[in-house]
Amino acid sequence: KEIQCEQKLGHDPTEDARAALELAQFFIEQGPAKVAELNLEMLLTTERLAEVSQNKAALQSQRCRVQKQLNEPPRLSKPCFLDCLQVTGEKPLLLSRQELDSSGLCQSNLSTSNKQILQRALEDVPLSTFSIVQFSLGPEYAASHPLADLCAKVRSKLTDMLTIYAGPFEESFCLKSVQKEFGRCGPIQALTVVTETYQPYVCVQYKVLEAAQLAVESLNGAEVAGSCIKVQRPVTAAMLDCDVLIKELEVDVENEGVIYVAGLKKSLTETDLQEEFSQLKDLETLFLPKDHQSGRHRNCCFLKFQSPQSAVDALEFINGWTMKGSRLRSRNALAAGHLWRWIWLMNRSNEKQGGNVLHEKVEQPADSEQDLRKKVKKLDNHIKKLYRSLQNNTLCVVLFPGVN
């Protein structure tokens, strides 16, 4: 607190007394709790550092012996999350149908069905500091072909939703200008020219769903590269309900108060963006997705506001806004960031196996697949009930189901 008076050489006694009184009142109100909090933090940090130091020393000593035998440089491994929780004195609650090899690090509570897991979760999760709730389809679906086929179809449908076709263009159109215009809507995964038609068209596959939707909304009927073009998604059986899915995603609770902004210059840092967007009312969080390979941010970001109305006001303000010479485009968010991380991992896994994400045949569901769809839908309902029952200020980590 500044108590030096600029107009005088010394201190102002009245100002000094007022500041001292305010300081005393502050310590009386908040001092004891703050001191206790700092002492606990210091004690916890000391214990944690001592534990980590001992483990690291023992681990390093053991590794040095092994590495000397292998004649390789030592490598550091990532600590186990459950071990880190144990250092803090926390023992997570595990609700599952399977026994987890956690060496006593969890309070295991095995159940016979997903419904029973949900019932126990609704009762026990609010009483536990940290909980792990594991739903599963059962051992009969662990490595089944219907599950793999269903994942492939979901991946294929998402890829179709990320893809748009634009045209027709003139024979001698400039591809770079087309790429630049569509790149203003968001990061592009791939861009190819379709020459099987009477006039050339362009197929653009985006990395995020918001970018594809923004391209359809803002560039359909616009003039690009000297041609008035039509922008649409591929017409397939799986895409017949695309508009319905988009509307459902827009009103999803996960996207409440969140907007997508594209057209950012890659030279802008996160600090620059925080400074530029600070004039927006009730801005809570800025999320800047980064490329998994290069580590550089893409030309888009997500802004979360304290209320849906603040997000609506920000949309009106941002659309058409020019930042550092680049015109911004924005719309409501459609999907959380972990969805795109999952898609990226699935696509990467599929590429390693030699698969093609863009062109997969969609067959009529067999009886076993229909049964699987019903079970997955039940899982969705369980997760939805659990998610809606969570208390305020809950850190919620959402994981997509995997094979193991």
Give the model confidence (pLDDT) of 310-343 as tens digits.
Answer: 999 999 989 878 888 888 999 999 976 556 666 6
**Among 95, 84, 87, 143, which residue's Cα sits nearest to residue 119?**
95
Q: Which ranges of 184-318 would DSSP assign to H, the alpha helix?
A: 209-219, 242-250, 270-277, 308-318
Measured in whole angstroms, how far is the alpha carbon of residue 146 from the centre of its chain?
27
Q: State the architecture of 255-339 in CATH terms.
A: 2-Layer Sandwich (3.30)
Residue with tokens 């189901």, as numbered in its chain: 401
| Paired strand residues for 193 | 202
Q: At what angle do helices 145-161 and 367-389 cross, to 10 degrees?
A: 70
* Secondary structure (3-state) at 315: helix
**Among 222, 216, 196, 218, which residue's Cα sits nearest to residue 204?**
216
Tens place of pLDDT for every residue, the chain, 404 residues? Answer: 555 555 555 666 777 788 788 888 877 777 777 777 776 777 676 666 666 667 666 666 665 655 555 554 444 555 666 677 777 777 788 888 766 655 566 666 677 788 888 898 888 888 888 888 888 776 666 555 666 777 778 788 888 999 999 999 998 899 999 999 999 999 998 999 998 888 999 999 998 899 999 999 999 999 999 999 999 999 888 888 899 989 988 888 778 899 999 999 888 888 889 999 988 999 998 988 877 677 777 789 999 999 999 999 999 989 878 888 888 999 999 976 556 666 666 656 655 555 444 333 334 445 676 787 788 888 888 888 888 888 877 776 666 555 44
Measured in whole angstroms, how far is the alpha carbon of residue 210 from the centre of its chain?
13
Q: What pLDDT, in 10s, does the model give residues 286-303?
A: 988 877 677 777 789 999
* Secondary structure (3-state) at 142: coil
pLDDT at position 185: 94
Contacts made by residues 195-199, CB under 8 angstroms, sequence distance 24+: 197/167, 197/168, 198/168, 199/167, 199/168, 199/169, 199/170, 199/171
Cβ contacts of 222 within 8 Å, gap of 6 or more: 228, 229, 231
Cβ contacts of 158 within 8 Å, gap of 6 or more: 209, 343
DSSP state of 292: T
For residue 377, the number of C-alpha atoms closer than 13 Å in the C-beta half-sphere is: 6
Residue with tokens 């005088």, as numbered in its chain: 8
The whole-angstrom separation of Cα 313 and Cα 280 is: 9
Tell me the residue ranges of DSSP E strands in 151-306.
163-167, 188-194, 201-206, 223-224, 227-228, 230-232, 258-262, 283-287, 300-305
The whole-angstrom separation of Cα 238 and Cα 157 is: 6
Task: Please state, in angstroms and as integers, the Cα–Cα distance from residue 47 to each residue in 33, 54, 87, following that order.
Answer: 21, 11, 8
The whole-angstrom separation of Cα 226 and Cα 81 is: 56
Cβ contacts of 60 within 8 Å, gap of 6 or more: 74
Q: Quick one: CA dihedral 69, 74, 76, 77, positive or negative?
A: negative
pLDDT at position 190: 92
The whole-angstrom separation of Cα 305 and Cα 298 is: 21
pLDDT at position 360: 38
pLDDT at position 361: 39
How are the residues of the chain apportioned to helix, strand and coil, as percentages rounded to the nearest 5? 50, 15, 35
The whole-angstrom separation of Cα 152 and Cα 359 is: 11
pTM of the model: 0.60
**Among 20, 340, 336, 306, which residue's Cα sits nearest to residue 155?**
340
pLDDT at position 66: 52
Ranges for all domains in the chain classified under CATH 3.30.70.330: 255-339
Task: Please state, in angstroms and as integers, the Cα–Cα distance from residue 133 to each residue in 95, 118, 188, 278, 383, following that order.
Answer: 5, 8, 36, 38, 10
Expressed in angstroms, the distance from the first to the final Cα of the chain is 57
pLDDT at position 103: 56
Measured in whole angstroms, how far is the alpha carbon of residue 72 from the centre of its chain?
37
